[in-house]
């Protein structure tokens, strides 16, 4: 859903929409005006061209993993999915009822992860994900959206981050991790709100909420590289589930907080954890929700993969111990928003080869990768979507099986969860790891950072 599914005239204003739970009452009337506003806001030259020229050639079908995973069900071809949703919305000039919206909900959230692979296979290069994004915006405006995303939106509105982690919990987690890992790396700290640093580091809220060691691992790498960095007290959530809810107004909130924090802290760059959609939001889509001129973030956004590549492959700032490299066969998941939509596929491969002695690529790979099936908001959409996630993930599972890999590297939190679920479902016998985890296991800790036991 490239840059924007604008929510009408006030697209760039962070004005929360109505409480998602309140509108679930079946009797709620459809606000046709609102729908028409969204359709009009998005009815530019691209949308008109796309709607008009799709030649119904069907070349997009084979590109879609939903289609492939369901024995080529023609109803899962991208052209069909966009025809019955956004195409229909424009055709009916927004005059649809609630039943229609519910049906569209099935298609736009349950059958598309907005991975954008189909656009590479369309002769006209129609940006189907962006078109689906408009339907998401329309459904969202009527309170028709997956509960998990509605909850995340509510959390963002109330707390500024999608999991409602409080500021105390966040800073305490940072302090706790700093303390914990200082026992392994001498002098390690996690600076909070330090001014004038090179990198302001932002994370996925599931790190402070469920996987604090992820933060600790990053601190180890940054400390060993003797980096100038900080985490912000506010604006540390790089993720953006409102983007997948199709709510540009709410999606603008965390991005604005993050940019503002970087500007206030005079950070040179924003550094992002190993998360795909956060990168898409911060580096590419965010500037459009905020209406920034030139469509670029005010502070450059760097993904962790790129930083690791610079440290290990380009600069040798972090040295890998050859004896500790991963020797089991390893493969790599290209998260759509890190590879195809983030441009980092080559760096990931360089890194994987620097860390693993037996790296095996999947096919297709790089910018042509298949989505794992957990993208586009699927993972946080929760249990009701899990069966579908497992079914459509069959393509990814088969790709992994074909490599014979035992280690699965995934620089994205959503892929990480999906791959773990696929591992169980399809008995793949893999272990899913982030780059951080592997690097902290394999890197050489310089003398001065080794904690001496005979000290105090």
Partner 1 sequence: MDALHEFLSGPALYVTLVIFFGGLIIRAAFLLGLSRGKDQVFYDHFSWSWALRSVLAWLLPWGSRSLRTQPLMAIVFFLFHLCLLATPIFLSAHNILWEGWAGWSLPTLPGIVADVMTLVVLGGVVFLFIRRLVRPEVRLISTLGDYLLLLLTAAPFATGILAQYQIGGPYDLMMVLHILSAEVLLIIIPFSKLGHLILFFFTRAFIGVDMGARRNCQGRLGAKVW
User: Which stretch in 22-30, 67-75, 107-115, 426-434 sits in contact with partner 1 by CB under 8 A?
Assistant: 67-75
Q: Contact at 8 Å (CB) between 261 and 235?
A: yes
Tell me the C-alpha distance between 265 and 285, whole Å.
22
Tell me the C-alpha distance between 4 and 90, whole Å.
17
**Contact between 2 and partner 1 per CB under 8 A:** yes
Mask for 241-270, x = binds partner 1 (CB under 8 A) = ------------------------------
Residues 191-220 touching partner 1, rule: CB under 8 A, are: none
Give 87 or 216: the residue with its C-beta nearer to partner 1. 87
**Contact between 54 and partner 1 per CB under 8 A:** yes
Give 33 or 56: the residue with its C-beta nearer to partner 1. 56
Among 63, 86, 217, 239, binds partner 1 (CB under 8 A): 63
Minimum CB distance to partner 1, residue 366 (Å)? 9
Minimum CB distance to partner 1, residue 23 (Å)? 28
Give 127 or 247: the residue with its C-beta nearer to partner 1. 127
Residues 68-127 touching partner 1, rule: CB under 8 A, are: 72, 74-75, 77, 79-80, 83, 116, 119-127
CA-based radius of gyration for the chain: 22
User: Which stretch in 49-57, 371-379, 419-427, 443-451 sits in contact with partner 1 by CB under 8 A?
Assistant: 49-57
User: Which stretch in 18-26, 151-159, 291-299, 388-396 sits in contact with partner 1 by CB under 8 A?
Assistant: 291-299
Give 116 or 413: the residue with its C-beta nearer to partner 1. 116
Among 56, 323, 448, 453, binds partner 1 (CB under 8 A): 56
> In b/e form, how buried is each residue of 355-386, taking b as 16+ CB within 10 angstroms?
bbebbbebeebbbebbbbbbbbbbbbbeeebe
Tell me the C-alpha distance between 35 and 231, whole Å.
39
Give 83 or 256: the residue with its C-beta nearer to partner 1. 83
Beta bridge partners of 271: 201, 302
DSSP-derived secondary structure letter, 366: G
**Contact between 295 and partner 1 per CB under 8 A:** yes
**Contact between 418 and partner 1 per CB under 8 A:** no
**Contact between 327 and partner 1 per CB under 8 A:** no
Minimum CB distance to partner 1, residue 198 (Å)? 15
Q: Contact at 8 Å (CB) between 232 and 208?
A: no
Tell me the C-alpha distance between 199 and 258, whole Å.
12
The CB density around residue 37, as the number of other CB atoms within 10 Å, is 20
Among 345, 385, 416, 435, binds partner 1 (CB under 8 A): 345
**Contact between 306 and partner 1 per CB under 8 A:** yes
DSSP-derived secondary structure letter, 30: P
Beta bridge partners of 359: 330
Phi, psi of 281 (to 5 degrees): -65, -50
Instruction: State the number of binding residues for partner 1 (CB under 8 A).
Output: 59
**Contact between 9 and partner 1 per CB under 8 A:** no
Tell me the C-alpha distance between 40 and 31, whole Å.
14
**Contact between 65 and partner 1 per CB under 8 A:** no
**Contact between 46 and partner 1 per CB under 8 A:** yes
Tell me the C-alpha distance between 288 and 281, whole Å.
10
Q: Contact at 8 Å (CB) between 261 and 281?
A: no
**Contact between 186 and partner 1 per CB under 8 A:** no
**Contact between 316 and partner 1 per CB under 8 A:** no
User: Which stretch in 51-59, 238-246, 407-415, 447-455 sits in contact with partner 1 by CB under 8 A?
Assistant: 51-59
Among 9, 53, 402, 450, binds partner 1 (CB under 8 A): 53
**Contact between 50 and partner 1 per CB under 8 A:** yes
Q: Contact at 8 Å (CB) between 372 and 296?
A: no
Q: Are strands 229-230 and 407-409 parallel, antiparallel or unpaired?
A: unpaired
Closest CA to 118 of 83, 71, 146: 83
| Residue 202: both structure tokens together | 């932002």
Q: Where does 254-359 show beta strands of DSSP type E?
A: 269-272, 301-303, 330-332
Tell me the C-alpha distance between 392 and 315, whole Å.
40
User: Which stretch in 17-25, 26-34, 177-185, 290-298 sits in contact with partner 1 by CB under 8 A?
Assistant: 290-298
Closest CA to 274 of 76, 446, 432: 432
Among 146, 232, 282, 342, binds partner 1 (CB under 8 A): 342
Interacting residues toward partner 1 by CB under 8 A? 2-4, 41-46, 48-50, 52-59, 61-63, 67, 72, 74-75, 77, 79-80, 83, 116, 119-127, 284, 288, 294-296, 300, 302, 306, 340-347, 367-368
């Amino acid at each position: 859903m490239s840059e924007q599914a604008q929510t009408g005239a006030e697209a760039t204003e962070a004005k929360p929409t109505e409480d998602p739970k309140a509108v679930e009452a079946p009797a709620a009337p459809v606000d046709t005006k609102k729908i028409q506003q969204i359709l009009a806001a998005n009815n530019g030259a691209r949308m008109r061209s796309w709607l008009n020229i799709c030649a119904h050639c069907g070349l997009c079908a084979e590109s879609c993993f939903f289609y492939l995973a369901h024995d080529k069900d023609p109803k899962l071809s991208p052209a069909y999915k966009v025809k019955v949703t956004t195409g229909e919305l424009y055709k009916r000039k927004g005059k649809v009822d609630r039943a229609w919206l519910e049906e569209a909900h099935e298609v736009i959230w349950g059958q598309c992860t907005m991975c954008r692979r189909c656009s590479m296979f369309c002769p006209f290069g129609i940006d189907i994900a962006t078109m689906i994004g408009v339907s998401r915006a329309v459904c969202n405006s009527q309170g028709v959206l997956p509960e998990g995303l509605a909850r995340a939106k509510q959390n963002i509105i109330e707390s500024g981050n999608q999991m409602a982690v409080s500021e105390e919990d966040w800073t305490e987690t940072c302090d706790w991790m700093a303390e914990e890992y200082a026992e392994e790396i001498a002098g390690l700290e996690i600076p909070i709100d330090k001014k004038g640093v090179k990198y302001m580091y932002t994370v996925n809220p599931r790190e402070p909420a469920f996987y604090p060691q992820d933060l600790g691992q990053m601190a180890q790498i940054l400390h060993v590289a003797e980096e100038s960095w900080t985490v912000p007290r506010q604006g540390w959530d790089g993720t953006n589930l409102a983007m997948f809810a199709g709510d540009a107004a709410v999606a603008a909130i965390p991005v604005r907080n993050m940019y503002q924090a970087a500007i206030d802290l005079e950070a040179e760059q924003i550094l992002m954890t190993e998360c795909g959609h956060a990168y898409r939001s911060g580096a590419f889509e965010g500037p459009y929700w905020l209406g920034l001129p030139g469509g670029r973030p005010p502070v450059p956004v760097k993904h962790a993969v790129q930083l690791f590549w610079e440290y290990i492959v380009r600069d040798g700032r972090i040295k890998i111990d050859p004896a500790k490299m991963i020797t089991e066969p390893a493969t790599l998941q290209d998260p759509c928003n890190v590879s195809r939509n983030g441009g980092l596929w080559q760096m990931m491969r360089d890194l994987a080869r620097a860390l693993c002695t037996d790296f095996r690529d999947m096919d297709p790979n790089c910018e042509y990768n298949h989505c794992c099936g957990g993208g586009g908001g699927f993972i946080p959409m929760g249990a009701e979507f899990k069966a579908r996630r497992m079914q459509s993930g069959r393509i990814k599972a088969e790709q992994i099986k074909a490599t014979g890999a035992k280690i699965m590297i995934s620089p994205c939190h959503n892929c990480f969860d999906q791959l773990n679920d696929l591992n169980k479902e399809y008995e793949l016998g893999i272990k899913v790891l982030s780059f951080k985890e592997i690097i902290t296991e394999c890197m050489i800790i310089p003398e001065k950072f080794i904690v001496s036991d005979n000290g105090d």
